[in-house]
A and B are shown apart, each in its own frame.
Chain A
Amino acid sequence: MSVTRSGKIRSLVLTLAMLPLAALSSQAHAQFIHPKIKSKETTIRTVVVLPAKVNIVRDSMKGPEGMAAESDELSGRVEKMVTEVLSKEKNVTTQNPPAAGQESQPNYNVAAFQSKFDDLLPKIMKKRSDVKTGRFSMGDEVLNLNLEKSTDAIVFIRGEGKKLTGGKTAFTLLVGGAPAYLTLRIGIVDARTGDVLVYTDPTFAGDPTTAVDRLRKALKDGLKKLPMVNSQ
């Protein structure tokens, strides 16, 4: 009798352990497009990709530990890969973001917009489908970034992920728990009006620091609905 009960608990534990995986896969390709893009009133031909902010932690038996260097490296890789996917798959040209350098003011400006997006992001995440109704906007303040006139949109990239240590991986297999993963949240914002034109949150299960191909595939799938620019 007690063996049966123990078995039931174990299967419950296994089911619980599988839930995060199921959740990850079900969300993997969620993407939402503004009606202006669908109706072709606005076409994204040229974008500026702002520095990505991807944070990953190493989850060990002794708790999560920061991975600042790896997070920086991954941020750079994600940024580069988004540029690559937009260019190769969608024919979108990428321009350089406002120069970050010795001068404080341009850095402050970019920081202000990154913050503004961070403020808006939880609201978008709460009801992502509202991007399709054009509910979210960063306002015409985006013009203060003083981008080139030909820039159609600004790309914001956020992400969070977890890498498991060997011990924690074994522990997760035995006991259950969330696997290693990476979730990205990408917003493409109209460079003239500030409207959120595209929101997508590609996700994959696996070590975020090494799964390069999975990252590329997740990005390709995540931007699938964005119309391709005609080369003419």
Chain B
Amino acid sequence: MFLHPARKVLITALCLCVGYSSVIPVTVGQKKTAPVEATPPPLREEFKFGDVDLEVLEQSDLLDAKLERDGLVLHDEKADAYVRRIGQALIPKGLELERVTWKFRVVRDPQANAFAMPNGSIYITTGLISLVDNESQLAAIIAHELTHVMRRHTYMHNRSNRKKYLTMNIMAAVGAYAPGGIVGAVIMVVTTVAPFIVAATMYGYGRDLEREADLKGVDMMISAEYSPEEMVNVMKLLDKDIEGENIRLFYNDHPSLDERIKYLSSYLGARADRVTQQMELNRERAAYFNEMQSLMRHDLQLAVNATRFRSAVYLAERLVDFHADSENLFWLAEAYRTLGPRAPQLTEKELTNSAMKEYAKKRLKRTLEEEERELLATADGRSNWERHQQKAEELYQRALNAENPVPVAHRGLGMLYEKLGRTNDAANEYQKYIELSPSAFDRERIQRRIETLRRN
């Protein structure tokens, strides 16, 4: 997804990280590989650093700093401590790795993702933390990423890529100065398309590493008393394509997650039979939501900002199911209000590869307002809009009638009424909001809206 927010930094970072492809369903493949018997990661390894590896390491350190500087790293003491505790529990005791300092960080990105830097920085997005159901599932993701670092996957991947690029360049030179004819022309074409071919082989190479990370991750989970079955469950969760983004490219058009789930299930076998009390505790949903609720709300704001309205509805409904307090009700209302004329779920037809590609193209052309206008011109769009506005109004009212009501629900109502053309009601709700939250960060914006509404 030629992508979203502040994502250029992330993408650059991810180019360095094998881990990126780990949790995104589209990147796993059908390539058949022999069954791998996973063994615990070695406590010491024989990896020898070359100049190329040191360059990658230096770039990783700089990217760590850049993510921080660009405001992409979340600073939430509770969430940081929680993720760090899981990470530390998974790292095999006594493990010594040259040039690795373990850091566990949360990235402010509503897309479900995780990646590992070779210097030991493990990043998990707020979108992923909000999507999983319990601590064990989060541990499964972290264990997978830890394996990428322990097994030096990034360095190996980078070395392999460099060889491939060199080969492509030599082929191009030979092609240009060949005696002419079809061979030269073919090589020229191949070179033009080279990035795709190179990417294809890279993805092929990556699949073995992903498999290794999955299987060794299972072993690490068992050692740390996390139920290994949750590795399979988290894969199933990641298969949920709420926004219709899992577009398959020509080199990975296959049911990748099924494959992954299959080999993991067969690897689990008797390993999943042993269940300890701690394993059961680590699977508790309520305990997890209790710890992560504040982060999940933060992620909802990010999801709305990133126009991921369907995800916002899905995640807010989970929060309200967990605890229907004023703030969670407010977030569900916000999600429905901003969902507007869109359907809350994509249809099967909309989830076909061609439909998703078409939508991705449209997204690059249309602004949000244009998309809404187009939808409102249809009967379905209008009916969705009416239903969602009603739902939002009801939820805002519930939020205001709940114990410890959040003033921001008045702002939400104001925005809703403004869109409905109820100018007086809108201005009154905005007024209540700024009276109850005199130091709100968006006070000026709301004040201006009141002035405009009262003028008209």
Are A and B interaction partners? yes
- Give B73 Cβ to nearest chain A Cβ, in Å: 9
Residues of the A chain whose Cβ atoms lie less than 8 Å from the Cβ of B4: 115, 118-119
**Interface size in chain B (residues, C-beta < 8 A):** 54
Q: What is the number of contacts between chain A and chain B, taking CB atoms within 8 Å?
A: 133
Given the interface contacts A111-B108, A118-B4, A118-B7, does A175 sit within 8 Å of B365 by beta carbon? no
What are 26 A-B pairs at a CB distance below 8 A?
Answer: A2-B180, A2-B181, A3-B180, A5-B180, A5-B181, A6-B181, A8-B180, A9-B188, A61-B165, A62-B162, A63-B161, A63-B165, A63-B198, A66-B12, A66-B15, A68-B59, A104-B75, A107-B71, A111-B108, A115-B305, A118-B6, A123-B365, A127-B365, A135-B367, A140-B445, A140-B449
- Residues on B lying within 8 angstroms of A by beta carbon are 2, 4-9, 12, 15-16, 55, 58-59, 62-63, 66, 69-72, 75, 108, 161-166, 169, 172-173, 176-181, 184-185, 188, 198, 305-307, 364-367, 441-442, 444-445, 448-449
Q: Chain B at the A interface: mostly helix, strand, loop or mixed?
A: helix
A51 to B9, CA, bound (A): 13
- Give A150 Cβ to nearest chain B Cβ, in Å: 14
Residues of the B chain whose Cβ atoms lie less than 8 Å from the Cβ of A146: 441, 444
Which of the residues B6, B173, B365, B448 comes within 8 Å of A114, measured between beta carbons? B6
Question: Is the pair B441, A6 in contact by a Cβ cutoff of 8 Å?
Answer: no
Question: Is the pair B6, A171 in contact by a Cβ cutoff of 8 Å?
Answer: no
- Is A231 an interface position by the 8 A CB rule? no
Residues of the B chain whose Cβ atoms lie less than 8 Å from the Cβ of A43: none
A136 to B369, CA, bound (A): 10
Question: Is the pair B365, A61 in contact by a Cβ cutoff of 8 Å?
Answer: no
Nearest residue, chain A, Cβ from B172: A175
A141 to B172, CA, bound (A): 50
- Residues on A lying within 8 angstroms of B by beta carbon are 2-3, 5-10, 13, 51, 53, 55, 61-63, 65-66, 68-69, 72, 100, 104-105, 107-112, 114-116, 118-120, 122-123, 126-127, 135-137, 140-141, 143-144, 146, 158, 171, 174-176, 192
A136 to B166, CA, bound (A): 43
Given the interface contacts A2-B180, A63-B161, A114-B70, does A9 sit within 8 Å of B185 by beta carbon? yes
Question: Is the pair B367, A62 in contact by a Cβ cutoff of 8 Å?
Answer: no
Given the interface contacts A69-B62, A111-B71, A140-B448, does A62 sit within 8 Å of B165 by beta carbon? yes
